[in-house]
Amino acid sequence: MSVFSEVPQAAPVAVFKLTADFREDTDPRKVNLGVGAYRTDDCQPWVLPVVKKVEQMIVEDQSLNHEYLPILGLPEFRSSSSKIALGEESPAIKEKRVGGVQCLGGTGALKVGAEFLRRWYNGNNNTGTPVYVSTPTWENHNGVFTDAGFQDIRTYRYWEPEKRGLALAGFLADLENAPERSIILLHACAHNPTGTDPTQEEWMQIADVMKRRSLFPFFDSAYQGFASGSLEKDAWAVRYFVSQGFEIFCAQSFSKNFGLYNERVGNLTVVASDGENLARVLTQMEKIVRTTWSNPPSQGARLVAVTLTTPELFEEWKGNVKTMADRVLLMRAQLKAKLQALGTPGTWDHITQQIGMFSFTGLNPKQVEFLIKEKHIYLMASGRINMCGLTSKNMDYVAESIHEAVTKIP
């Protein structure tokens, strides 16, 4: 008799299943527009040149060891990461009311932040505090907040299919109607999966409502630098909120902008009203970390810290980031141009208006199915494509296939 006989088979995570199916596909024309990782024009993973350089430095440095990091992580990593998010001249940093918690990727940062909020925000252990995520959002957001214990996860309008853009009026209305002190999960830039970001003016309107309604901003920043090519531009929303006096959480990921996907490098930046509150918050963060992973992995954090704190390496990194962002922008421009040249029905401006790794093409599930089954082009059922999966070599094939899908299937 087994204690596990009643354990049901869980459905596989969709995005990984897509990649698994892609791998098994033997068709030479196959294209993977699924999982979110950068690819070069040869469709290869890209280890950033600056990362290779710093890795070599680490391997050769005999003075380094594998000792435990402190519970909250490598101090130089934490401070330099928060500086990246908030800016070199950040008044909040100068006022010593900013802290960082090194976490396992962006996911880990979201997790620690969510656990903290459940225990200490809006009373103690208030699992009834509403948490708002965008419609749509990264599918793991729901899981993170649910597993942290939150029982009331709601959505705010975000993507408007008809105009293929931001549903601003609905977004603002939903914030207006959110109970005070609700937690609002915001994508700092390069919204996943739609690639649609609010403009600066729109962010100001969002901040305005959130201030009036006493809503808590929890930023998910997984693409800083990767979206526009500029660290400052991509951090504008986060910095604006801080300048407006909000206390915020910002879950930072260095998976994409450093290409350090598998080293799980993330930072939860906490901006509090003052240093005294910050100190207490960090002691409680330690307790959460201690029962989850005790202390974070050192390799990736070292790499990032060295890069961010060494001027020449920092410049080189920014260049590498711009290389990636520029390639994505080029693919966007070319895809849109090809679809327009083919006379594909519909408007395709959203492809260049959207930003970051992903594009919500607007393709419907039937068209998506056609692309996967008939054309061996793999994308998410939502119509989300990873622009990085596009190359100069497969661009024509993909554009023509999209054209076929749209014209053949209503």
Partner 1 sequence: MMAMLKSCGRISSVGLYSPPFGGSPLRASTWWSGVQMGPPDPILGVTEAFKRDTNPKKMNLGVGAYRDDQGKPYILSCVRKAEAQIAAKQLDKEYLPIGGLGDFSKACAELALGPDSEVLKSGRSVTVQSISGTGSLRVGANFLSRFHTATSDVYLPKPSWGNHTPIFRDAGFQLKAYSYYDPKTCGFDFKGALDDILKIPQKSIMVLHACAHNPTGVDPRPEQWKEIAALVKQRNLLVFFDMAYQGFASGDTDHDAWAVRYFIGQGHNILLAQSFAKNMGLYGERVGGLTVVCRDAEETRRVESQLKILIRPIYSNPPMNGARIAATILNTPELRKEWLVEVHSMANRIIQMREQLVANLRKEGSTRNWQHVTDQIGMFCFTGLKPKQVERLTKEFSIYMTKDGRISMAGVTSDNIGYLAHAIHAVTK
- Which residue in the set 21, 25, 35, 153 belongs to the binding site for partner 1 (CB under 8 A)? 35
Q: How far is the CB of 44 from partner 1 (least distance, A)?
A: 8
Residue listed under structure tokens 């960082």: 100
Q: Which is nearer to partner 1, 46 or 348 (CB)?
A: 46
Among 17, 280, 393, 408, binds partner 1 (CB under 8 A): 280
Q: How far is CA 115 from CA 57, 210, 311, 382, in A?
A: 36, 22, 36, 29
Calpha distance 400→71 (Å, rounded)? 52
CB of 375 to partner 1, least distance (A): 24
Nearer to partner 1, 180 or 374 (CB): 180
Cα–Cα nearest to 224, from 203, 253, 249: 253
Burial (CB count within 10 angstroms: exposed 0-12, middle 13-18, buried 19+), residue 153 = middle
Q: Which residues pair with 265 in a beta bridge?
A: 104
**Minimum CB distance to partner 1 smaller for 5 or for 26:** 5
Binding mask 191-220 for partner 1 (x = CB under 8 A): --------------------xx-x-x----
Regarding 122 and contact with partner 1 (CB under 8 A), the answer is yes
256 classed as catalytic: yes
Is residue 277 near partner 1 by the rule CB under 8 A? yes
Per-residue binding string, partner 1, 99-118, x by CB under 8 A, is ----xxx-xx--x-------
> C-beta of 385: minimal distance to partner 1 in Å?
18
In the complex, the smallest distance separating the C-beta of residue 353 from partner 1, rounded to whole angstroms, is 28
Among 23, 45, 49, 347, binds partner 1 (CB under 8 A): 45
Assess 52 for contact with partner 1 (CB under 8 A): yes
Residues 335-374 that bind partner 1 (CB under 8 A): none
Binding to partner 1 by residue 181, rule CB under 8 A? Answer: yes
* Least distance (Å) between residue 189 CB and partner 1: 20
* Beta strands 98-104 and 265-271, pairing class: antiparallel
Q: Per rule CB under 8 A, is residue 236 in the interface with partner 1?
A: no
Using the contact rule CB under 8 A, the part of the chain among 62-70, 188-196, 307-315, 322-330 near partner 1 is 62-70
Q: Which of 46, 220, 336, 338 is catalytic?
A: 220
Binding mask 8-27 for partner 1 (x = CB under 8 A): xxxxxx--x-----------
Task: Mark 126-165 with x for binding to partner 1 (rule: CB under 8 A) and - for no binding.
Answer: --------------x--xx-xx------------------
The verdict on 40 binding partner 1 (CB under 8 A) reads no
Applying the rule CB under 8 A, the residues between 245 and 274 that interact with partner 1 are 245, 247, 255, 259-264, 272-274
Nearest distance in Å: CB 330, partner 1: 22
Q: Does 29 bind partner 1 (CB under 8 A)?
A: no
Q: Per the residue annotation, which of 30, 83, 138, 348 is the catalytic one?
A: 138
Site for partner 1 in 81-100 (CB under 8 A): 91-92, 95
5 lines the binding site for partner 1 (CB under 8 A): yes
List the catalytic residues.
138, 220, 256
